[in-house]
Structure 1
Amino acid sequence: MKFNWGTGIVLAFIGFISFIMYFIITMNVNDKYDHDLVSDDYYADELQYQNDINKLENTKDLSTNISYEKTTNGLIIKFPKGLDYKNIKGKLFLYRPSNKQLDFETAISLSNLNLLIPDKRLVDGRWNIKIDWQYNGKNYLFKESINY
Structure 2
Amino acid sequence: MKINWGTGIVLAFIGFIGFILYFVVRMSTDDRANHDLVTEEYYKEELSYQKQIDASESATEMNANLKVEKTDEGLLISFPERFDPKKITGTVSLYRPSNKHLDSNFPISLSNTHLLIPDNRLVDGRWDITINWQYEGKPFLHKEKLTY
TM-score by length of 1: 0.84
Aligned partners of 1:35 and 1:98 also within 8 Å: no
Task: For residue 89 of structure 1, report the CA deviation from its aligned partner.
Answer: 0.7
CA distance in 2, matches of 1:46, 1:92: 19
Task: Provide runs of 4+ in structure 1 moved above 6 Å.
Answer: none
Cα RMSD (Å) of the superposition? 2.1
Distance of 1:134 and 1:26 partners within structure 2: 45
Contact 1:52 1:141 in 2 (8 A): yes
2:58 maps to amino acid? N
Q: TM-score, normalised by structure 2?
A: 0.84
Which residue number in structure 2 is paired with residue 102 of structure 1? 102
1:29 corresponding residue in structure 2 = 30
Partner of 1:47: 47
Partner of 1:69: 69
Structure 2 partner of 1:137: 137
1:15-43 per-residue CA deviation (whole Å, 9 max, x = no partner) reads: 42244234321354152x41421232233
Q: Which residue of 2 aligns with 1:20?
A: 20
Which residue does 1:127 correspond to in 2? 127
**Alpha-carbon distance between aligned partners in 1 of 2:75 and 2:30, rounded to the nearest angstrom:** 36
Report the Cα distance in structure 1 between the residues aligned to 2:31 and 2:13, rounded to whole angstroms.
Answer: 26
Give the drift of 1:78. 1.6
Identify if the C-alpha distance between structure 1 residues 95 and 14 changes in structure 2 by more than 3 Å, giving closer, same or farther.
Answer: same
Q: 5+ unaligned residues in a row in structure 2: which ranges?
A: none
Determine the structure 1 residue equivalent to 2:113. Answer: 113
With 62-71 and 136-145 compared, the bigger mean Cα shift is at: 62-71
Q: CA deviation at 1:132?
A: 0.6
